[in-house]
Amino acid sequence: MKTILVGLGTCGISAGGEKVYRALQEELKEHPGTFELKETGCIGMCYREPLVEVIDDGESHLYAEVTPERIGRIVEEDVIGGTQIDDWLALAGGQAEGFFDKQVRIVLRNSGIIDPGSIEEYIARDGYQGVTKALKEMTPEEVIKDVLDSGLRGRGGGGFPTGKKWEFTRASAGDKKYIICNADEGDPGAFMDRSVLESDPHSVLEGMMIAGYAIGADEAYIYCRAEYPKAIARLRQAISQAQRRGLLGEDILGTGFNFHIKIKEGAGAFVCGEETALIASIEGRRGMPRFRPPFPAVSGLWGKPTNINNVETFANIPWIIQNGGAAFAAYGTENSKGTKVFAMAGKVQRTGLIEVPMGLTIRSIIFDVCGGIIDNKRFKAVQMGGPSGGCIPAEMCDIGVDYQEVNKTGAIMGSGGLIVMDETTCMVDVAKFFLTFTQAESCGKCTFCRIGTKRRREIPERITDGQGTMDDLDNLEELSDQIRAASLCGLGQTAPNPVITTLKYFRDEYEAHIVDKKCPAHVCTPLLTYTINELCNGCTACARACPTAAITGEKKGMHFLDQELCIKCGKCFTVCRFDAVTKD
């Protein structure tokens, strides 16, 4: 019997995947016994959702952009007739050429392949073999050594060696220790952790179990933001399944190891991604960071030694233990081992989720893996590391994705959000966006972060409104230095990065806004000027669209735009089909 998989991660659902699934259910009623219908997570090709895969004896046909109207033909011609529909294939016609060629899928090894609601399918793909090996064949010290040998660094943004963190926590004195999985993914444009939890929740649970055994913990929390309902639902289901199988709870696999996992839903505060603020939130207190030391490895949750890693870090662990640390270290660079998952967003052809070896260049990621820039526009920059990261210009995008190399640019690796920008992106506007975000997400504990981010946000607002001065650029740099030096946690310490990198690499854009009162990317509305040129044929479309009657002229005659009445809404530019409206 053939199997049909429907991608029902958040990306698939938002594209209409649930309607496609229901249409397949109706087809199954019409043709009982012809196929088995299952749901799966995200395979990474978010840009082509909804995705439907027909599988028969190892042969697979993956269909893209499937609608309920296409289901009947897929069932009749492929499922029943055995003939693939070439025009609808996701990997045909060059539309996805190269997307998987340079990927190495360790974290994403099961994503889009298994039913995330089936523990049996996870086990069938060597699931829970890593924890079985750890509990039955290895000492905690051997487990930690394997993680150290792998070179795995924390994938949450800091890049601290995972094995070292486990080593410190194990060495800390305490009758009770905890494991925390940080799933409070808050960077704009980042969706790596959400997708992994939705597509392969058991891999994260297994990684947490191995970590618990290694450091001597018997209790764990997954701190996941409540805005991820699908991820939370699948986590709850996975925990319940593992408990029923005896893989969670008391005396796991008859080894005497006890381990329990609870879920804590976060309210969506970005600052709770910082580990001490996260701990405070789990404890029922306001999510605000505290001074370190002591570090959580010594005094964490309820004052007990606590190890905190993020979703991607834990998802790597079962593969590392099963295959050995050296196998993981075979990928990547000298200082950055293994692979990295990136959420690709912005002006790139193939948005979605990818996993590539450390060291692959940013340019290769954008052009080879993700197909280049939409509409073949000029590649301008990539924003990496979220609000704590920075903008890397196109001229520097031949550097490898490596912690040290990325840091040299002024950006950071971060958790893996990668936003691609083209010539239509205003870098001053980008800086303003991230400054607005960090100001809104500041917990308010530190004066420089609370007040300084507000004052700093006001400067690019003035610049994009056409009210900026050259002194504003010096003030931006001075404020950034003060906020970085005087802030307690990573939010304030890294908040200057987006503005500092845009000032460093795109200072000419700031100066154009200030001196010329022009936005080179034609984004900042107060600095735009719309005019009607000699191509106008008097169709009157612009005049009819103008909300302020700023455009006048006779039908089939040249029209004119009164700049004093123009509110710069851009409707004339949008409706004109003859390139007769110019935007400067």
Whether 524 and 513 have beta carbons less than 8 Å apart is answered as yes
- One domain, residues 464 and 572: no
| Closest-CA residue to 269 (of 168, 200, 185) | 185
pLDDT, residue 243, reads: 97
Question: Considering the domain boundaries, does residue 533 fall inside one?
Answer: yes
Using CA atoms, how far apart are residues 143 and 146, in angstroms rounded to an integer? 5
What CATH number has the domain bearing residue 506?
1.20.1440.230
pLDDT over 90 (residue 38): yes
Tell which of 329, 356, 380 closes a domain. Answer: 329
pLDDT, residue 255, reads: 97
Residues in the chain: 584
pLDDT over 90 (residue 536): yes
Question: Considering the domain boundaries, does residue 313 fall inside one?
Answer: yes
Confidence of residue 279 (pLDDT cuts 50, 70, 90): very high
Question: Considering the domain boundaries, does residue 102 fall inside one?
Answer: no
Confidence of residue 93 (pLDDT cuts 50, 70, 90): low
Using CA atoms, how far apart are residues 307 and 298, in angstroms rounded to an integer? 9
Whether 555 and 563 have beta carbons less than 8 Å apart is answered as no
**DSSP-assigned letters across all residues of 119-175:** HHHHHHTTTTHHHHHHHHH--HHHHHHHHHHHT-B-TTTT--BHHHHHHHHHHS--S
- One domain, residues 261 and 286: yes
- One domain, residues 134 and 265: yes
Averaged pLDDT for residues 41-63: 94
pLDDT, residue 490, reads: 86
Question: Considering the domain boundaries, does residue 112 fall inside one?
Answer: no
Residue type, 396: M
Question: Considering the domain boundaries, does residue 365 fall inside one?
Answer: yes
Tell which of 352, 387, 422 closes a domain. Answer: 422
pLDDT, residue 94, reads: 53
Q: What's the CA dihedral at 133, 134, 138, 142 to 10 degrees?
A: 130
pLDDT over 90 (residue 97): no
Q: Is the peptide bond before 50 cis (omega within 30 degrees of 0)?
A: yes
Confidence of residue 292 (pLDDT cuts 50, 70, 90): confident
β-strands 306-310, 178-183 pairing: parallel
- One domain, residues 344 and 325: no
**Residue-range definition of the domain harbouring residue 38:** 2-88
pLDDT, residue 157, reads: 81
Q: C-alpha angle with apex 289: 286 to 291, nearest 5 degrees?
A: 135
pLDDT, residue 189, reads: 87
pLDDT over 70 (residue 354): yes
Tell which of 310, 329, 348 closes a domain. Answer: 329
Which residues are registered as beta bridge partners of 252? 257
Question: Considering the domain boundaries, does residue 370 fall inside one?
Answer: yes
Structural domain count of the chain: 5
- One domain, residues 493 and 539: no
pLDDT tens track for 229-255: 999 999 999 999 999 999 999 999 999
Tokens of 258: 């006890």
Using CA atoms, how far apart are residues 129 and 110, in angstroms rounded to an integer? 14
- One domain, residues 292 and 405: no
Question: Considering the domain boundaries, does residue 25 fall inside one?
Answer: yes
- One domain, residues 215 and 295: yes
Q: Which residue has the tokens 């971060």?
A: 414
Confidence of residue 92 (pLDDT cuts 50, 70, 90): low
What CATH number has the domain bearing residue 555?
3.30.70.20
Whether 158 and 280 have beta carbons less than 8 Å apart is answered as no
Give residue 28's region: left, alpha or beta (phi > 0; psi -120 to 50): alpha
What lies within 8 Å, CB to CB, of 457 at 6+ separation is: 432, 435, 436, 439
What lies within 8 Å, CB to CB, of 319 at 6+ separation is: 106, 109, 130, 328
Using CA atoms, how far apart are residues 532 and 552, in angstroms rounded to an integer? 11
- One domain, residues 273 and 308: yes
Q: In this structure, what DSSP letter does residue 332 have?
A: B
Averaged pLDDT for residues 329-345: 96
**What is the residue-averaged pLDDT of the chain?**
95
Q: Is the peptide bond before 294 cis (omega within 30 degrees of 0)?
A: yes
48-85 residues labelled b (16+ CB within 10 A) or e (exposed) = bbbbbbbbeeeeebbbbbbebebbeebbeebbeeeebb
Averaged pLDDT for residues 467-474: 95
| Closest-CA residue to 211 (of 123, 315, 338) | 315
Whether 234 and 40 have beta carbons less than 8 Å apart is answered as no
What CATH number has the domain bearing residue 249?
3.40.50.11540
pLDDT tens track for 166-205: 999 999 999 999 999 999 998 888 999 999 999 999 999 9
Whether 513 and 527 have beta carbons less than 8 Å apart is answered as yes
User: Hey, is 541 helix, strand or coil?
Assistant: helix
- One domain, residues 45 and 164: no
What CATH number has the domain bearing residue 76?
3.40.30.10
Distances 205 to 100, 122, 197, 388 between C-alpha atoms, Å = 27, 12, 10, 28
Give residue 253's region: left, alpha or beta (phi > 0; psi -120 to 50): left
Distances 556 to 363, 439, 444, 533, 540 between C-alpha atoms, Å = 49, 51, 60, 14, 8
Averaged pLDDT for residues 63-67: 97
Question: Considering the domain boundaries, does residue 499 fall inside one?
Answer: yes
pLDDT, residue 194, reads: 96
- One domain, residues 276 and 184: yes
pLDDT, residue 95, reads: 56
pLDDT, residue 377, reads: 96
User: Hey, is 10 helix, strand or coil?
Assistant: helix
- One domain, residues 349 and 487: no
- One domain, residues 278 and 384: no
Q: Is the peptide bond before 293 cis (omega within 30 degrees of 0)?
A: yes
Which residues are registered as beta bridge partners of 390? 384
